[in-house]
A = this chain, B = another copy of it.
Amino acid sequence: MTQNPDLNIALIGCGTVGTGVAKILQSSRESLRQRSGRSMQLRRVVVKNVAKQRDVDFGGIPVSNDIRTVTDDPDIHLAIYVVGGISWAREDVTRLLQSGKDVITANKALLYAHGAELFALAGTMNRTICFEAAVAGGIPIISAVNTALTANRILSIEAILNGTSNFILTRMLDRREPYDAVLAEAQARGYAEADPAMDVDGTDAAQKLSILTQLAYGTRVPLEDIVRQGIQQIELLDLLVAAELGYRVKLLATSRLAKERLEVSVQPTLVRADRAIGMTSGADNIVSIEGDAAGLLRFSGAGAGQMPTASAVMADVIDYATGRAAITFQSILRLQGQKPIPLQPQEELSRRYYLRFTVADQPHVLADIADILGRNEISISSVRQDETADIEDESGVARLVIMTHRTTEGRLRNADREIAELSSIRGDRIRMPIAD
């Protein structure tokens, strides 16, 4: 197949990532040509606000706020779609594919919500969608799952996929600061969104995990089937107790094959401090994948940020320019037809757990909780209720931490409903699995 030596590109969206992509396209022209064998030409830019001052000079390239300038231009081959949101994005990408453009996107929310539909449309239109930047920023994990690990049966994926929540958990422990203070600082520094809800409640990580799970197992897992908890209720106390026991608390995203069923969860989890995942600090991401042949592989690095994400987008651009991306996308489409692996019901996930209750500092509290756990066949491995200032605040309440032996999510949910009714219970009840 003879390729057009020029590759004409439209950039749609020029926020943080789009600006990074434009910078690389402009500064690395010669090395991109050498790597791909083609000359990359940024021909059009579409942004919401044309008048806005930007950190990059487009020279004479037409900048518009109308995506039709791209869909109507037969000379454009490839659209780099780096806009967030779902409903408009769905419409935009649909129109791009329908007008014959190939699409590279970093929008994981879009792929999570409408990936199947957009992939099918791309298949029908004989177009390609690339999305390395949608999961784990600059870490080439989509490529690893789609190419390097293809001869493997994937046994498990364990990952930190949300940099904001990992930054918050790391900083709380390092600085001995409460959740709210660290979140406010992260927002002030621009690490966390003005509305960080999707980062801290596990939605963002769950969307990314769903995309990875689909590629690795051929199974579509909707958010409602993922055991999902956020980090909003985690207190400094929880991190300190975990640290004393040799653990770090991480918002761990897990997909695991267990007896031909798939267990999928995004939960704050106690991970051993001396394991690679436990050591992953700040805004970094890590993906630990176990294949039946390759064994355990770990990939880590910056999970977000302008240039790391732009690096992943540009890897897609080169992959596209050379023709590799179209081949990989055909493989992905073939796998869409795979027989899905049944999901393990949420109640049957079996782990050890860390439980923390805020209780009135009065007699018989522990006995009441232990009784409920016992009746639900949950076996206690250790208990601590310290009298130190760290553990107890001034208002007559104490924190009670219970570690359990292996038990199921279902038993714990039942027990939790009963415990919530106890008159001695105050405020949040924390439940975190322990990864061994």
Contacts and interface: CB of A to CB of B under 8 A. Distances in A.
A150 B315 contact: yes
A301 B297 contact: yes
Contacts of A24: 151, 293
Nearest to A293: B311
Given A293-B310, A294-B138, A147 B34 contact: no
Interface string A19-58: 0100010001001101111000000000000000000000
* Interface size range on A against B: 35 or more
A334 B298 CA distance: 30
A295 interface: yes
A302 B295 contact: yes
Nearest to A21: B151
Interface stretch (A120-128, A183-191, A242-250, A324-332): A324-332
B331 A35 contact: yes
Interface string A385-406: 0000000000000000000000
Nearest to A138: B294
Contact of A151 (B1, B149, B318, B335): B318
A312 B298 contact: no
A426 interface: no
Interface in A291-349: 291-302, 305, 307-308, 310-312, 314-315, 317-319, 322-324, 327-328, 330-331, 334-335, 338
A300 B276 contact: yes
Given A24-B293, A323-B327, A324-B327, 20 more contacts: A34-B335, A35-B331, A36-B150, A132-B148, A138-B291, A140-B144, A140-B147, A140-B149, A143-B144, A147-B319, A274-B279, A292-B307, A293-B310, A293-B311, A293-B314, A294-B308, A295-B301, A295-B302, A322-B327, A322-B328
